Amino acid sequence: MVKASLAALSGPCEFVEASSGLEAIERLALGPIELMVLDLNMPDMHGLEVLGFVRSHSKYRQVPVIILTTRGDDASRAAALEAGATAYMTKPFAPGTLATKAQELLEPGSR
Amino acid sequence: MTDFLDTFLDDYFAECDEHLTAVRRTLLALESSIGRSRPDPTITEELFRAFHSLKGIAGMVEHREIEMLAHEMETYLRAVREGEVRLTTAGVDRLMDAARLLEHSIAARRQGEQPIDIEPALAELRQISPDEEDSPPSSALPAPDSPAASWQCLFTPSPELIARGINVDVVRARLREQGDIISALPVVGDGGAIAFRFVFEGNPEIAERDAWVADGMVCSKIDDAAPVAVSTVVGERSAATLSSANHVRVDLARLDDLMRMIGDLVIRRARLGDAIARVESLVPSTDWRGIQENMSALERQLRELREGVMRVRLVPVAEMFRRVPFVVRDLARETGKRVTVDVSGEATEIDKFLVERMLDPVLHVVRNAVSHGLEGVDERIAAGKSPEGTLTLTAAAAGEMVTIQIADDGRGIDTARVIARARVAGLAIPAHVDEAAILELISSPGFSTRDASDRVSGRGFGMAVVRTRVQELGGAISLASTPGQGTRFTFDLPLTLAITDALIARVGGETFAVPQASVREVIEINTGGIHALETGELIQYRGAPVPIVRLSDALAIPVRPATRLHAFIVNAAGAPIALVVDRVVGQREIVVRTTSDPLIRVDGIAGATDLGDGRAVLILDVAALARQARRTRGIVPVRETA
């Protein structure tokens, strides 16, 4: 679903999917990854743990990370932003909003 | 003085509960260490702590049974830890029996009943513990033969490996085959390269390890003297290591009070809103905007307050799921079946009250699944299945609902047998028996699939009680069963009970509230589009015929005929149904007051609320209404109650 909504991005893009937290980190390490869309619920790690690791690593500190979650409350949002999330989106979201946000983060200054 | 003692005892019981929970969880983990020379030290340490604390607090309130039981359990465990005796199945069984006695003994004390006889259990525990006098010093023991050791495996991913299909998840699966993974962490190596460090217990073969090197996996044995740092464990066991140091224990009644006060506030705000709206014409528009802004801010903040308090009441479903392996283990042993329990979504949070009310229903369905659903080993092999049955428990949250599923991969429900049983019980059998009809039949009072002598169903907690309990909580049950493949029960429950979002609708002169979580869609229908059939009326909805239920008929409310009506599309046992009202007038946050008094309890009404004008408005129980509709349509007739 996430992939489908990102397909709307203008310009050629390649998507890499990971099915667990560790795999997400592996994919990032083997990169290059320009944008990470991270679900909070993963089988092995919490999304914020993955985010914490990404942010603690100097090489990946600048990679924009969009957090996707079903929890829309302010406390969860604050926790994500504090952990270094670039953007925070609550599921379900309109397909267009994710693509717009991704576009914004990939091409800063394009709007 | 008595008051003081009572409070003290309350604290004692609460603390006992906590330690017992830890004991139950850890004992199951200990089971996996059977046969090893020494069990995982983190497990024994946790058990030690729990036994020791129990012994201590029981001593303070002079609860002798607990003190002595905990002491003997500790003694045995110490012998195991020191390597004086090897952990055996019998040993774990004795510990589990003793844990159960601890539980019963505490319950007896709490209810003011006779103390439970613990002597036989004490004797059994003493039997498996070495005699204290002649226990040899642990250093004199011979080295254990091929124990499972702790290993570390460092995996460095690379594009070549990925191309060969070897990624971190594959590595994890490989290690899992060779032993128990203790932790899995990403680490930063030299030059900033990312690698993954797994710590696991097992006995990987040398050939295996050599083959792994080509796949970027480097294994090395961890010295026993350097214990694994469990505090940094991610994932595999993180739930068990949650610290409780920052937690406060609060009486649930206080949270109920808090919720009630917030409920009153929500109603008061609604009244204030109505009162202010009435004076709109008297206020200059510039002032009016200020009032409006404040009102909406107040509403938002109230909602946040409500959500905050609600969050405090939430506990992980794990509290409930943790009991399941215990129950399954006992039953499997009694029936000679082999069962594995798969649990997912344990971290899903649910109202504490729901956990307490749902525990028995969930355990009942679990017992049913093990004793009726899953086949014995021989039967499974004959059917071409793996000898081990699987019981899957899943919890997931979606919006304001929580879904709990209990599934087995057993023989499925035998429809013919259910029908035969229902006939014996004097239940009416519908012409077409689908899964919803089966659920209806097995949930009827008086229905039982086994003889009264059956130990499991003989507990007076049948599916009828399960269904009533779920309905009382505002939830719904559904059933899916495939012959030869298994059965799945699904409970859909509201996340919380007290305050919820609702759609407000009018029928004739009456106003009703419909919980928003149970509504899939609101549509407008043209009365010309309603097709009347012998068994009822239908409309076309998204290209398919959907039966409609007019609330005016269901609740006998006189209405004027209209050409355009509104309808709620709701789910009734998996299939949509349209509940027709005159008009949907809005959306409100409502405070639910359940109608628990059986005298005024009406099927189809879940409770009442106050919209702010002081009048009580009834809250519809959508699932019950849909069920009623199915019955009156003759799809599932019920037994005459006369």
Predicted confidence band of residue A60 (pLDDT cuts 50, 70, 90): confident
Residue B173 corresponds to which tokens in the numbers above?
Answer: 């699966």
Taking the Cβ of residue B25 and every Cβ of chain A, the question of whether any pair is shorter than 8 Å is answered with no
Query: What pLDDT does residue B393 have?
Result: 93
SS3 (DSSP) at A24: helix
Q: What is the pLDDT of residues B171-198, one digit of tens each?
A: 888 888 877 787 788 887 666 678 888 8
* Percent of chain B whose predicted confidence (pLDDT) is above 70: 83
SS3 (DSSP) at B436: helix
Q: Tell me if A30 is assigned to some domain.
A: yes
Q: Which residues of A touch B192 (CB under 8 A)?
A: 57-59
Query: What pLDDT does residue B40 have?
Result: 77
Q: Which residues of B touch A19 (CB under 8 A)?
A: 169
Yes or no: say if B287 and B233 are a contact pair by the CB < 8 Å rule.
Answer: no
Query: What pLDDT does residue A96 have?
Result: 73
Q: Tell me if A104 is assigned to some domain.
A: no
Q: What is the pLDDT of residues B435-478, one digit of tens each?
A: 888 888 888 777 765 544 344 444 445 788 888 888 777 788 88
Contacts of B309 (CB under 8 A, 6+ apart): B255, B258, B259, B262
- Please identify among residues 306-325 of chain B the ones whose CB lies closer than 8 Å to any CB of chain A: 307-308, 311
Going by C-alpha positions, the residue among B533, B537, B620 that lies closest to residue B577 is B537
- Ranking B140-144, B233-237, B553-557 by mean pLDDT, the lowest is B233-237
Bin B222: left if φ > 0, else alpha if -120 < ψ < 50, else beta.
beta
Most trustworthy range by pLDDT among B60-64, B104-108, B620-624: B104-108
Query: What pLDDT does residue B407 have?
Result: 94
Q: Tell me if A111 is assigned to some domain.
A: no
Long-range pairs, B138-142, Cβ under 8 A, ≥24: B138/B82, B138/B83, B138/B84, B141/B83, B141/B84
Structural domains present in chain B: 1-135 (1.20.120.160), 144-249 (3.30.70), 252-305 (no CATH), 316-494 (3.30.565.10), 499-633 (2.40.50.180)
Which of B168, B193, B304 minimises the CB distance to A22? B168
- Ranking B286-290, B391-395, B638-642 by mean pLDDT, the lowest is B638-642
Q: Tell me if A110 is assigned to some domain.
A: no
Q: Tell me if A106 is assigned to some domain.
A: no
Rounded Cα distance, B150 and B23, in Å: 24
Q: What is the pLDDT of residues B305-344, one digit of tens each?
A: 888 888 888 888 888 888 888 888 888 888 888 888 888 8
* Percent of chain B whose predicted confidence (pLDDT) is above 90: 5
Partner-chain contact A26 B192, CB within 8 Å: no
Which of B192, B235, B397 minimises the CB distance to A45? B235
Q: Tell me if A102 is assigned to some domain.
A: no
Mean of per-residue pLDDT scores for chain B:
78
Rounded Cα distance, B85 and B79, in Å: 6
Q: Tell me if A105 is assigned to some domain.
A: no
Whether A4 shows a pLDDT value over 70: the answer reads no
Strand partners, B354: none
Could you tell me whether strands A65-69 and A36-39 are parallel, antiparallel, or unpaired per DSSP bridges? parallel
Whether B494 shows a pLDDT value over 60: the answer reads yes
Residue B378 corresponds to which tokens in the numbers above?
Answer: 């021989």
Long-range pairs, B127-133, Cβ under 8 A, ≥24: B128/B76, B128/B85, B128/B88, B128/B90, B128/B91, B128/B94, B129/B72, B129/B75, B129/B76, B129/B79, B129/B85, B130/B79, B130/B84, B130/B85, B132/B75
Regarding predicted confidence, which is higher, B198 or B631?
Answer: B198
Q: Which residues of B touch A70 (CB under 8 A)?
A: 397-399
Q: What is the pLDDT of residues B238-296, one digit of tens each?
A: 333 344 456 777 887 888 888 888 888 888 888 888 888 888 888 888 888 889 899 88
Yes or no: say if B98 and B109 are a contact pair by the CB < 8 Å rule.
Answer: no
Q: Is the pTM of this model over 0.90?
A: no
- Please identify among residues 37-66 of chain B the ones whose CB lies closer than 8 Å to any CB of chain A: none
Tell me how long chain B is. Answer: 642
Whether A3 shows a pLDDT value over 80: the answer reads no
Q: Which residues of B touch A29 (CB under 8 A)?
A: 157, 193-194
- Range B489-504 average pLDDT: 80
Q: DSSP for B182-232?
A: EEEEEEE-GGG-EEEEEEEEE---HHHHHHHHTTTEEEEEPPTTS---GGG
CATH code, domain with A73: 3.40.50.2300
SS3 (DSSP) at B307: helix
Yes or no: say if B474 and B515 are a contact pair by the CB < 8 Å rule.
Answer: yes
- Please identify among residues 147-176 of chain B the ones whose CB lies closer than 8 Å to any CB of chain A: 157-159, 162, 167-169, 172
Whether B234 shows a pLDDT value over 60: the answer reads no
- Range B118-139 average pLDDT: 66
Rounded Cα distance, B413 and B457, in Å: 16
Cis upstream peptide for B115 (omega within 30°) = no
Yes or no: say if B31 and B94 are a contact pair by the CB < 8 Å rule.
Answer: no
Instruction: Kindly tell me the burial class for residue B560, based on how many C-beta atoms sit within 10 Å of its own C-beta (0-12, 13-18, 19 or more).
Output: exposed
Yes or no: say if B217 and A3 are a contact pair by the CB < 8 Å rule.
Answer: no
Going by C-alpha positions, the residue among B331, B194, B499, B168 that lies closest to residue A58 is B194
Predicted confidence band of residue B490 (pLDDT cuts 50, 70, 90): very high
What is the number of structural domains in chain A? 1
Cα of B158 to nearest chain A Cα, Å: 7
CA distances (Å), origin B284, targets A21, B272, B287: 57, 19, 5
Query: What pLDDT does residue B4 have?
Result: 57
Predicted confidence band of residue A50 (pLDDT cuts 50, 70, 90): confident
B169, B174, B394, best to mutate vs chain A, most A CBs in 10 Å = B169
Amino acid at B113: E
Q: What is the pLDDT of residues B528-542, one digit of tens each?
A: 888 887 777 888 888
Give the chain A residue whose CA is nearest to the CA of B156.
Answer: A26
Residue range(s) defining the domain that contains residue A63: 2-6+14-97
Q: Look up tokens 């004991």; give the residue.
A: B23
Q: Which residues of A touch B307 (CB under 8 A)?
A: 73
Q: Which residues of B touch A22 (CB under 8 A)?
A: 168-169, 172, 184, 186, 196
Q: Tell me if A70 is assigned to some domain.
A: yes
B161, B167, B185, best to mutate vs chain A, most A CBs in 10 Å = B167
HEC string for B104-146: HHHHHHHHCCCCCCCHHHHHHHHHHCCCCCCCCCHHHCCCCCC
Cα of B84 to nearest chain A Cα, Å: 36
Interfacial residues of A (vs B; Cβ cutoff 8 Å): 19-23, 25-26, 28-30, 44-45, 49, 53, 57-59, 70, 73-75
